Structure formats: C-alpha cells, structure tokens
Amino acid sequence: MQKALLTHKHIALLLMLFLMFASVIGQEQKKDTIALIKENREQAENAMFKQDFETAILSLNEANKLALNSNDALLKSDIRYRIAELHYYLQNFQKASEEIDKSITLIEALEDDTNKEIEIAKAYTLKGLILIKTRDYVNSETYLKDAYKKFIQLNDEAGQSHVILGLGLLELQKKNYKSAINYFDATIPLLQANKFTYEEAEAHLRKAEAFLNLNSGNQSTNLNKAKASLSKALTIIDTNSFSKLKADSYKVTSYIALKENNYQKSEENLDLYEAKSEELYKIYMDAVSKGVDAESSIGDLNEIIATQKDDLDKKQKSIKFTQMTTGLSIALIVILSLLTLSLYKNNNLRAKANDLLKDKNTELQLAKEKAEKASLAKAQFLSTITHELRTPLYAVTGLTHLLLEENPKEHQKEHLNSLKFSGEYLLSLINNILDLNKLEANKVELEQTTFSLQKRINDVLVALKKSADDKKNKLQLEFDETIPDKLVGDPLKLSQVLINLIGNSLKFTQNGEVTVRVQSMEQKKNKVQLHFEIEDNGVGISRKKQKSIFETFSQGSLQINRKFGGTGLGLSIVKNLLELMNSKINLESQLGKGSKFWFNLTLSVSEEYQENDNPRNIIYDVDYVALENKSVLVVEDNKINQMITKKILEKNHMKCMVADNGMDAIKIFQENKFDVILMDIHMPGISGIEATQKIRDFDKQIPIIALTAVTVDENLDDFYRAGFNDIIPKPFKTEEFFEKIYRSIENKKLPVDS
C-alpha cells in the first residue's frame, strides 16, 4: 500500500515537471517561431533579388503561416505587405490588392507610434500603385497623396521618392504627359540619392514613354529627349539585369523607331517585346501557381487550437493545488485527445481541400480556355461579318450617291433618299455592334484633349435637328453659363453618349419636347463636376422595364420595338461609356408622361484652349480644283466597287486606272506615274499590305491610302507600319473620301521612311 502511494506521488510530481518543462518549451518555441518568420522573410528578399519568384512566394507563404500564431501585429502586417509587393511585381493585381488591404487593417489597429506611421505610409503607397494598374485613378491619387503627407511629416525622403514616382506613373496612365515628366524629373535625383536603382531605371523609361506621347513643344526635341531618357534607363537595366524593365524597353525602342520611320527596327523590337513579355508572363504565372498550391487553411486551424490551449491553461491555473494531480491528468488527456482529433481532422480536411482545389483548378482552366476560344471566335466572326456586310453596303451607298449626283427625277430622288437613309442606318447598326464589342472587351481607352463643351453639345443638336423635325419635336438646350469654356476630357465619347441619349428621346417622342440641361454642381481648383439631363415627354418606360433597359439588345417592349424600331444597343453603349468615364447613367420615367436620363461627370478645367474645329472631319476642307487631273491608281478586286470608285473620282475630273490584284498593281505602278494609290486589303494573291510593302521598297514618297472594309481600329499600327499614309473605311462619306485624298497629296513632300 505504501509503495502504491509513493507511486502516485511520483506520477503527480512527474506530471508537474512535465507541464513546467512544456511551458518553458512553449516560450522557446515562440522565440523560435519569430526567428523562423524573419528567416523566411530574408530568404524571400534574397530570392526576389535573384528573380527566383517561386522561392520568394513559397518563403513568404511559410512566413505568413507561422505569423498567424504570433501576437506581433506589426510583424504580421509586414509579411502581408511583402506578399502584396511580390504579387504586384508578378502582375497578379487582385491578390496584391487583397493582401495590402489586410496589411493596412492590421497596421491601423496598432497604437499610434512612429513605426505605425511609416508602415501605413508605405502600405498606402503600394495600394496607390496597385490601383493605377486596376485603372481606379481617383482612389489611387487619394492613397498616394495621403502617403506623401505622412512621409513629409516624418521627414522621410526615401518614402517621398516612391510616392512621387507613383504620381508620375498615375499621370502617365491618365495621358497627362507633361505632368508625368515633371514628376519623373522630381523623383529621379531622390531615387539616385537613396540608391533605388530599379525605381530610377523605371522613372527614366517611363519618362521616355511620356516624351514620345507629348503633343506640345517641338516634336524633334521631344524625340531626342525620349532617346536620352531611354539610354539612361538601359544603362541601369543592363547593369542590374532587370528583366521586366528590359522587356518594356523594347516597346519604347519600337515606338522611337516608328517615329523615325524605321519600320524594320520598330517591328523587330515590337516582336522582342511580345516574346519577352510572354516569357515573363509564364514565369510569373508559374510562381503564382506554386503559391496557390502551397496555401491552405492550416494556419487558421493552428490559431484555433492555440486559442483553445490558452483557455484551458487559464482554467487549469484556477484549480486548487490539492486537486492538481487529478485535474492536470484529465487536462492532459483532454489536450492530447483534442490534438489527436484535430490533427486527424485537419489531415482529412487538407486532403479533401487539396483534391477539391485540384478539381476546381482543372474546371477553371477548362472554363478559361473555353471562354478564350469563344471570345476569339466572336472577334473573328465580327471581323469577318463586318467585312462581308461593308463590301455590298459600299456598293449600295456608292451607287446611291452617284445616282443622286445625276439629277434624278423628283419621284426617283425620293426613292434614292430612302435608299441612302437605309444604307446609313445599316452602317450605324454595324458600328454600334462593333463599339459594344470593344467596350465589353475593355479595348476602349479615354482620350484627354481640350474642348468647348457648349460648342460640342451644339454640334450634337445640329446633327440631330433633322430627326427632331421629322418627329415634329422641339429640341432645346439649357446650358449653365458658369461652366468654364475650356475643359479637358474625351469629347468624342461624350458626344457619343449624348447622341445616343438625345436620339433615343427623339425616337420615342412625337409632337413633343426634348430638353437637354447641363449644370455646374461643384468647382474646385482645376476640376468641375457637371450634371447632365435629357428629358422628354414621350411614351415613357414601365418600372419593370427600367431595370433591364440598359442591357444589350433590350427595349421597352415588343410593341415598342415594332413601332419605333432599333436594336436596343444605344443605351447599353451609353452605360459602358459612362462607366469608363467613372460615371453612372440614371433613369426616371413614367408611362405616358415621358422619361429623364441623367448622369454626373467630373472634368478637368484646361489652362489652354485647343478645340478641334473639325471633329471627325464633319466639316471638310478640300480644294476640289487642285484635285482635277490628278492621277489615281485604284487597287480593288471587286468589279462593282471598281466601277463605283472610278466613277466618283472621274466625276471630280480625276484620272483613274484600275488594278484587279496586288501583283498587277505593282506592275502598273512601275510602268506609270500616279499622284496617289487607293489600296484594298483583302485580295486574291498577295494582300494589299504586302503590295504596299513591295511598292515602298522602291518608292517612299507616293501617298498610299488603305480603302478597305475591314475593321481597322485595333490594327492601326500594322497599317502604318506597312507604309500606308491614311485609311478610309468603306462605306465612306464622299466628302471624307476626297478630304483624305487631298490631304495625302498635299503632304506628299513628307517622307514615309527616313
């Protein structure tokens, strides 16, 4: 019996010693955990410097898992910041945004001290850079300026240099090139002083890009400054092997060569840029994929287990010393059981999660491939069907024009005008479909030019006056005279929005009024917020239909579609264009009483006035007498189109020869002298692009204009690189046709290639 009592006492003593030893081990493990986090962080930094992105992302993921069980919020936020920074470099901007938001949340929860202010300023800077890439320019500017204020208060020059670089990149994306150059000039000395070589190289490279796009000043001087900045950037890039910046430098070199009319060098560097970018994209995606595979929920589970253990420890301390043997034995058994059960469940969860992730990744990859194929097929279909529709449409509009020019009888003129209207309507429908396709594919970019808003709106109202008169509608404008006359924005896209909205109101109003209102809501420094309203007293829209009226191909009802016609594309285009301009379309309507569409838009106030008096060549300045007796070579395989183009030219007393294909065009050109060549693109044998390149081999001066039914918006660089001076899409307006021919002949003295 005595031996048994001694045995129990010994067991209790051993358990107490075990728990004391476990407590000491736990403290040492906490110290070891922090050391491991810092070790993984250093490994990630070294891997980033060597551009070993897979090692970097795996090391940071491991550091993040360990940090989950740490009470050091500053260390946790630092790891999240570094993960965001790595994903920003890997162009995985969604993940970068998620991680920097987590980092900012952790930092803002800290007590106020100097370290907190520095870390939050760094995080705001990175958040601003990420928002530039996701095109959220307004919030990007807010974060960058908040970061700059904090760095000024902290007297941190190194931090200021990064923010100023970010502001330069923001202005470059907003196409404010002069402002961007000023920021780059300000940050380069700071970056040099702080030995930020990568950022310094990027500043020089983006400065070269800004000079290439700068429209003001002497263009030759701008080109020389761009070349000088590129040279400085390449010196740093090649010394340090900055692969991403090296890829971007090929693109800048290509644009410089294009400005110098060195098409071969431009194409070579553009190919290098695309090849290098594709190579880097694969490297980045492999790294991101490795990181995704390594992530799991283990960190969160460990945190839960640790919390449970702390709760149990607190309860154990409250147990009386006399009950310690029994209590500790039970607690130890419970803890071991919980750990065993948790580990077992955790292993099962991880196995299932990994299997599920693999299946989902496979499904997502297949879905992505299907979506890409569908998108490509859609683009190819639209390109093909557009060409097929425009070619016969050119014959319809061209022949109608010729017949109207031949003094038809009054009853014939009425039919011809109807035919002309139908052709123009069909062309408008084709253009609407293409515009919507480009908007949905995010291939439309905003321009930033100076314009007069009142003049632009008046031009729109003049263009729609006939539609108003046809419906016996009164079209009136209420314009706030306090609005500055000189604004900066995209006047063409704003005109497109207004034309669609006003045209829609006119279409659904008969013997009524359509009122356009523009009011100034707020003006601060160089920004003005405007309120636009288009109100009519037409048929109105039901509450049910108001929810879907801005969807593609949507109309008020089947009866409205039959009565008023149309495709339902106009309002969808308006919605997409306004979202592109950081605005939103709103609607108030009541059946039988009319509708009111309104939106708010913020525009910059310009310091200089550069209104284009000839937007989209609406007013054409052509010296038709100067075009008489000019010799034209028309290269066209379609016999009807040959006849139409030739008759239009000869009616203006111009001489015309026709070639059926590219090879004949080259032969005829070598045997005759011409003032201008009109070149079709799709032809049997060699294409119009190939024919133009061959003609350019022995004549750099002759103006060559692409007269084509293909969609050229996304391939302009290809046309100009091939040697075309200008492009006339078919079907065309006759005034635009002669205006471009006249302008090309007048500019003949300018060489195509140096």
- Residue of 416, 381, 376 lying closest to 396 (CA atoms): 416
Question: 419 vs 69, 396, 423, 470, CA distance in Å?
Answer: 76, 8, 6, 17
User: Stretch 714-727: mean pLDDT, rounded?
Assistant: 77
Q: What is the identity of the amino acid at 518?
A: V
Q: Helices in 320-409 by DSSP H: which ranges?
A: 324-405
Q: What are the residues facing 656 on neighbouring strands?
A: 632
* CATH ID of 624-746, from 2.40.50.100, 3.40.50.1820, 3.40.50.2300, 3.40.50.720: 3.40.50.2300
Most confident of 46-55, 392-401, 570-579, 674-683: 674-683
Q: What percent of the chain has pLDDT over 70?
A: 77
The pLDDT of residue 621 is above 80: no
Angle at CA of residue 132, ends 577 and 718, nearest 5°: 65
Question: By mean pLDDT, which of 137-141, 212-216, 473-477, 563-567 is the weakest?
Answer: 563-567
Q: Is residue 485 classed as helix, strand or coil in its secondary structure?
A: coil
Token digits for 370? Answer: 């299907």
Per-domain residue ranges for the chain? 33-155, 172-291, 449-617, 624-746
Question: 92 vs 99, 135, 285, 291, CA distance in Å?
Answer: 11, 14, 9, 12
Angle at CA of residue 60, ends 54 and 66, nearest 5°: 140
- Looking from the CA of 419 toward its CB, the CA atoms found within 13 Å total 18
The pLDDT of residue 423 is above 90: no
- Residue of 492, 502, 423 lying closest to 468 (CA atoms): 502
User: Stretch 223-252: mean pLDDT, rounded?
Assistant: 91
The pLDDT of residue 392 is above 50: yes
The pLDDT of residue 235 is above 90: yes
For residue 295, what pLDDT band results from cuts at 50, 70 and 90?
low
What 3 state SS string does 433-480 have? Answer: HHHHHHHHCCCCCCCCEEECHHHHHHHHHHHCHHHHHHCCCEEEEEEC
Token digits for 250? Answer: 């090929």
Question: By mean pLDDT, which of 142-156, 297-311, 521-535 is the weakest?
Answer: 297-311
- Residue of 71, 64, 61, 65 lying closest to 30 (CA atoms): 71
Return d(Cα 469, Cα 510) in angstroms, integer: 10
**In this structure, are residues 641 and 402 in contact, taking their beta carbons and an 8 Å threshold?**
no
What CATH architecture applies to the domain 449-617?
A: 2-Layer Sandwich (3.30)
For residue 535, what pLDDT band results from cuts at 50, 70 and 90?
very high
**In this structure, are residues 521 and 529 in contact, taking their beta carbons and an 8 Å threshold?**
yes
Question: 640 vs 107, 660, 745, CA distance in Å?
Answer: 72, 12, 26
- Residue of 638, 630, 631 lying closest to 707 (CA atoms): 638
Return d(Cα 254, Cα 266) in angstroms, integer: 4
pLDDT at 181: 94
Whole-prediction pTM value? 0.41
pLDDT at 301: 42
State the helix-helix crossing angle for 157-173 and 114-133, rounded to 10 degrees: 20
Q: What is the identity of the amino acid at 406?
A: E
Higher pLDDT among residues 511 and 303, named by residue: 511
Say yes or no: do domains 33-155 and 449-617 share a fold.
Answer: no
Return d(Cα 431, Cα 436) in angstroms, integer: 9
pLDDT at 460: 84
Q: Is residue 586 classed as helix, strand or coil in its secondary structure?
A: strand
CATH class in words for 33-155: mainly alpha
Token digits for 217? Answer: 């000043």
Question: By mean pLDDT, which of 64-78, 178-192, 239-253, 543-557 is the weakest?
Answer: 543-557
- Distant-in-sequence, close-in-space partners of 446: CB < 8 Å, separation ≥ 6: 175, 489, 490, 493, 580, 581
User: Stretch 694-705: mean pLDDT, rounded?
Assistant: 90
The pLDDT of residue 617 is above 60: no
Return d(Cα 584, Cα 597) in angstroms, integer: 11
The pLDDT of residue 4 is above 50: no
Return d(Cα 148, Cα 166) in angstroms, integer: 10
**DSSP-based helix, strand, coil % in the chain, nearest 5:** 70, 10, 25
Return d(Cα 527, Cα 54) in angstroms, integer: 45
Higher pLDDT among residues 421 and 576, named by residue: 576
Question: By mean pLDDT, which of 75-84, 111-120, 196-205, 429-438 is the weakest?
Answer: 429-438
Mean confidence (pLDDT) of the chain: 80
User: Stretch 493-506: mean pLDDT, rounded?
Assistant: 87
For residue 401, what pLDDT band results from cuts at 50, 70 and 90?
confident
CATH class in words for 172-291: mainly alpha
pLDDT at 675: 93
The pLDDT of residue 680 is above 80: yes
pLDDT at 569: 65
For residue 558, what pLDDT band results from cuts at 50, 70 and 90?
very low
Q: What are the residues facing 532 on neighbouring strands?
A: 518, 599
The pLDDT of residue 648 is above 80: yes
